[in-house]
Amino acid sequence: MQSFRDDLRPCYYLPLAQSYVPEMTLIARTPGGPDLALAEIRRELHALDKDLPVTEAETMHAHLNRALSQERLTASLLSGLGLLALALTVIGIYGVVSLSVAQRTREIGIRMALGAQAPQVLAMILRHAAILLGAGLAIGGAAAAIVTRYAASLLYGVSPTDPWTFAGMASALAAAATIACYVPARRAARVDPMVALRYE
């Protein structure tokens, strides 16, 4: 079966008497449902020659599904691994920001005792996380641009350095990381200054 990745080659037709092959392919376009047309085509072929075997009769939809099965399996596996990597990233960022907030509990308590408001503390934590996130996205984007050259053979109909794909993935990572940072930052903004000052 020819892959959809292969370049289109010129085709030409020869009369059956000039170039005999033991099997032929019939492609029919129908106005109605293809399943009914398959049965009708079988009846017509049987009426022409009752000994003529008809094998591998299928709709174009089924044929395309079979032809793209390997690509769909690869895409499903890579999507699953991508979701797993995203989940691990969110858990890791949440853990790092939570540890940072825990280590700065006394500092946060002092700031709030001196008049800092909860939105200011929240902005401070998120600003620190945004700097780390920006650095991570820049380094990861540069590394991805280099690595995608080796994955070009797995792609179809899209460039290895497609800007929309890179922008979409960066946006998804930024959104997930922001949610992971917001939870510990909000908890830090709600801390009681007296409890924070006594925190060891």
Query: Of all residues in the chain, what percent carry a pLDDT higher than 90?
Result: 2
Same-domain status, 91 and 131: yes
Could you tell me if 174 and 88 are in contact, meaning their C-beta atoms sit under 8 angstroms apart?
A: no
Owning domain of residue 20: 1-67
What's the pLDDT tens digit per position in 31-47?
877 777 788 888 888 88
User: 9: part of which helix (H) or strand (E)?
Assistant: none
Q: How far apart are CA 100 and CA 92, in angstroms?
A: 12
3-state secondary structure of 114: coil
Nearest to 160 by CA among 150, 172, 170: 150
Same-domain status, 36 and 99: no
The mean predicted confidence, pLDDT, of the chain is 80
Does the pLDDT value for residue 196 go beyond 60? no
Q: How many domains does the chain have?
A: 2
Residue 197 in tokens: 């000052």
The mean per-residue pLDDT over the stretch 122-142 comes to: 86
What's the pLDDT tens digit per position in 68-91?
788 788 888 988 998 998 899 889
Does the pLDDT value for residue 129 go beyond 80? yes
Q: Which of 46, 67, 88 is the last residue of a domain?
A: 67
Tell me what pLDDT residue 194 has: 67
Q: How many CB atoms lie within 10 A of CB 196?
A: 19
What's the pLDDT tens digit per position in 153-176?
666 667 777 788 888 888 888 888
Same-domain status, 37 and 86: no
Same-domain status, 89 and 124: yes
Task: State the pTM of this model.
Answer: 0.63
End-to-end CA distance of the chain, in Å? Answer: 69
Q: Which of 45, 67, 89 is the last residue of a domain?
A: 67
Same-domain status, 92 and 114: yes
Q: Which of 23, 38, 67 is the last residue of a domain?
A: 67
